[in-house]
A and B are shown apart, each in its own frame.
Chain A
Amino acid sequence: MRRRFRKRAEGYLYILPAYTLLALVTGYPVIRIVGMSLSSFSFQTDHTRWAGLSEFSAVLASRSFWSSASITIEFTVFSLILHAVIAWVLALLMYGSREARWVTNLFRGLWILPWLFSTAAAALMWGLLYNPFGVLNYTLVNTGMLQEPIDFLGRSGTALGALVNVNVWRTYPIYFVLLLGAMQSVPDSLLEAARIEGASYFKELRYVVVPFVWPAVLTMTLLDFITTFGHFDLVKMMTGGGPQGSTQTLAFYIYREAFLSANFSYSAAVSVLMFAFLSIFSVAYLKAYTRSNVI
């Protein structure tokens, strides 16, 4: 009995440092945010009082919140679709390539190049490209595709699309690299068996490669969804949520409320709602994924 306890204690002791660190860096902020969302803090008296769900009702009654939520979903869905399409096209091109090794390596390097740029550098570069004096406008005007230069970030109708474009450009390589890695890890024995059975290239893809990489794709999509849903940097750096709030994502809305208006309880309530949505979505997604017997 004692021996078994000691054995268990040994295991717990090993994971204790990691769990302590996790509790400090993840658990504490989450608990603090939930606490903030349920309380009201007076800066004048340094006194916190219980506010119940009042901040949540204020959030749910706010038009800005729903507009930001809808923009976030739009931003996420378009980004995800484009990430997937571009990554699949490039990965399939690389996978089926019969070119010399140096050629494939060169293209692989070129395609992951955007990943090497920091978000700030990407925002600066694309900001200059979108500018009325930028190369993009110069080309479009001189080829007659535009009558006059426009600022893609300065119109409610184009600003969100322009942001999605930058986000896709900067982050598709992650998806592409993981997908290509998964494709290249398909065992040769499976591919050879398919070829012996007379499978064409497309059948090989359809019945061997895709089912093999599918679990990785689903995991990547979930991760992509979570990171894109919480996207903040490009909005802050390129549009400030405008024009007319047309690019104000939930993450930027939280920032505005907390750090420009000092409404910490309110922004904590928005954060908790966002966290709850992402958690529910992730659990539902993983359940559906498990039920589909893909793994």
Chain B
Amino acid sequence: MSMHRSYFTAGTPADSVHWGKGMKRILAFAFVGVFCLIGTFAVFAGGQTEASASSSGISAHKKTHLVWVEWWRNEWGGGVMSKLVKGFEAQHPDIAVDVIDHNWWDTHNTEIAMAEAGSEQDVLGMEGIWMSTLDKMGILQDLGPWLDREGSAYKDRFVRPALVKYRGQIKAIYIYVFPFAVAYNPPMLKAAGLTPATSLPELMSQLHALTDPKKNVFGASLALSSDSAYQAMMTFGLFLAQYGGKFENSDGTAAFNSPAGVSALKYMKDLVDQKVIVPDPLGQSATQTREYFAANETPYTFDGPFITTITKQANPDLVPAFTPPMRTTVGGYMVSGSGLSMSAKSQHKQEAWDFIKYMMSDQVASMMVKVTGLPWGLKSMSTDPFIESSPVLRQAPAMIANPHSILFPVISNADKVQTAFINNIQAAMQGQKSVSQALDDAAAAWNSLAK
């Protein structure tokens, strides 16, 4: 009897034996397959529960799990994050915080992917530039009513830019608000016999003095690569504010294609053309500019106060400083922040709000300003003794308060506007468009997209 005929033919006793063997083999395969699938699911599901439960002694199933998507672990370090989470969990023993950490570059797309997949996320790390996409997806909760419930005194604690409005509603609270400024390497400047520049023209002449292209030595670097469009907009914004310009009009239309905008972009182009910065900034990312700065390769850089903690990780001996408030045409700075939003689809909104409140408490602010060097978005922080002692932070309150300082715009279709903006800046830098043409084209894109 041939084997291939036998498995399902049960006519004879011999056949039934073969049939049984065949079926047994199939069933064995099926069992192994099902077992593997169940095992895989169990490992993944068990892993998640274990990770959450391990943060406290209370058993996992009794707790509410709060999912926090963020990027700060890389910048602040695991110890700081752990201290933050444990502090909150100690105050709320019925809540466990599940942290989903990414680097800054991937946080936005992770939040979008999680929203699209319907995955739970309760508190989201947020940038102004990300808000339009996530709001389009219906993810951002209006925090106005939650703030109102706490009373006006609570609301008054925040510095003005911290409560971030998009389309008339407060969709995020910036946990820290910062000026984007000119940072320098104090030992390198001292070695060159220079004092920090006090205006953009003075900075240009210092960069000339600090640069020697033949020795591959440059005064600064610019991040103008396509994946650093945000950084490029911030840098342009700093120059724009120094020349007295602004990004947008009160009706939301573009205002940067102004004489001040032309001066700002021309300054940027001069940095490239006069070869006082690391060549080909169109290939340089924000990470690279920070690496050059931390490695003592460039004495100046354009960045926010997080330059302190980022530099510290690469070069613990370097304590960077911000130049004292500069004054070119006026003394404005680009001001922005990074913060937290609550998911409109969260099943744990009260817990999420408790977490946001915790992050904005005086106790956390006081701790975080010391360990991260970031100016927390509370008015009380301006009088914190640590701010006065920090070479970066002590300049920040005056920069933020300057009447000519401009807030980073929170606009719709931000990703596309940003792409149009960086493409036009890159075209100007490569000489494919004049500075004014590039700004006009970027403004046209802004006006058609940022409605």
Q: Which residues of A contact B (CB under 8 A)?
A: 3, 6-7, 9-10, 13-14, 17, 43-44, 130-133, 137-138, 141, 148-156, 159, 239-245, 255-256, 258-262, 264
Contact = CB atoms under 8 A, between A and B. Distances in A.
A78 B184 CA distance: 44
Given A9-B8, A154-B280, A131 B288 contact: yes
B112 interface: yes
Nearest to A137: B216
A100 B297 CA distance: 48
Given A132-B278, A149-B279, A243-B225, 19 more contacts: A6-B8, A10-B7, A131-B288, A133-B292, A151-B279, A151-B283, A151-B284, A153-B280, A155-B283, A239-B283, A240-B228, A240-B285, A245-B226, A256-B419, A259-B113, A260-B108, A260-B112, A262-B116, A262-B137
A10 B423 contact: no
Interface of B: 4-5, 7-9, 22, 26, 29-30, 33, 108-109, 112-113, 115-116, 133-134, 136-139, 213-214, 216, 224-228, 275, 278-285, 288, 292, 297, 413, 415-416, 419, 422-423, 426-427, 430, 432
A262 B116 CA distance: 9
A225 B137 CA distance: 36
A154 B4 contact: no
Contacts of A241: 226-227
A242 B109 contact: no
27 contacts: A3-B8, A7-B8, A43-B136, A43-B138, A44-B138, A132-B216, A132-B279, A133-B292, A148-B213, A149-B279, A150-B280, A151-B278, A151-B282, A154-B280, A154-B283, A154-B284, A156-B282, A156-B430, A243-B224, A243-B430, A244-B426, A244-B427, A259-B112, A260-B108, A261-B133, A261-B416, A264-B116
Nearest to B133: A262
Nearest to B413: A261
A187 to B, nearest CB: 32
Contacts of A14: 26
Contacts of B419: 256
Contacts of B224: 243
A7 B4 contact: yes
B112 A262 contact: yes
A6 B8 CA distance: 6
Given A17-B29, A244-B427, A261-B416, A155 B9 contact: no
A42 to B, nearest CB: 8
A6 to B, nearest CB: 4
Contact of A239 (B22, B226, B415): B226
Nearest to B278: A132
A241 B334 CA distance: 27
B448 to A, nearest CB: 14
Contacts of B109: 255, 259-260
B226 A155 contact: no
B431 to A, nearest CB: 11
A208 to B, nearest CB: 39
Contacts of A10: 7-8, 22
Contacts of A239: 225-227, 283
Contact of B225 (A132, A240, A264): A240
Given A43-B138, A148-B279, A154-B282, A242 B422 contact: yes
A155 B26 contact: no
A239 B413 CA distance: 22
Contact of A149 (B216, B292, B426): B216
B289 to A, nearest CB: 12
Residue of B30, B134, B426 with highest tally of chain A CB at under 10 A: B426
A130 B427 CA distance: 21
Given A239-B225, A240-B226, A133 B216 contact: yes
A135 B39 CA distance: 49
A31 to B, nearest CB: 17
Contacts of B281: 151, 154
Contacts of B279: 132, 148-151, 154
Nearest to A147: B213
A262 B9 CA distance: 57
A242 B426 contact: yes
A155 B430 contact: yes
Contacts of B133: 260-262
Contacts of A17: 29-30, 33
B282 to A, nearest CB: 4
A229 to B, nearest CB: 21
Contact of B280 (A155, A256, A261): A155
A209 B115 CA distance: 55
A153 B285 CA distance: 11
B123 to A, nearest CB: 19
A267 B184 CA distance: 43
Contacts of B33: 17
Most chain A CB neighbours (cut-off 10 Å) among B4, B137, B413? B137
Please name the 6 residue pairs, one residue from A and one from B, whose CB atoms are nearest each other, closest first: A154-B283, A242-B226, A240-B227, A154-B280, A151-B280, A6-B8
Contacts of B9: 3, 6
A9 B23 CA distance: 12
A38 B413 CA distance: 22
A242 B278 contact: no
A260 B226 CA distance: 13
Nearest to B228: A240
A272 to B, nearest CB: 17
Contacts of B226: 239-245
B233 to A, nearest CB: 14
A151 B26 CA distance: 60
B28 to A, nearest CB: 12
A28 to B, nearest CB: 14
Contacts of A262: 112, 115-116, 133-134, 136-137
B4 A148 contact: no
A147 B66 CA distance: 57
Contacts of A260: 108-109, 112, 133, 415
A148 B211 CA distance: 13
Contacts of A240: 225-228, 285
Contacts of B26: 13-14
A200 to B, nearest CB: 50
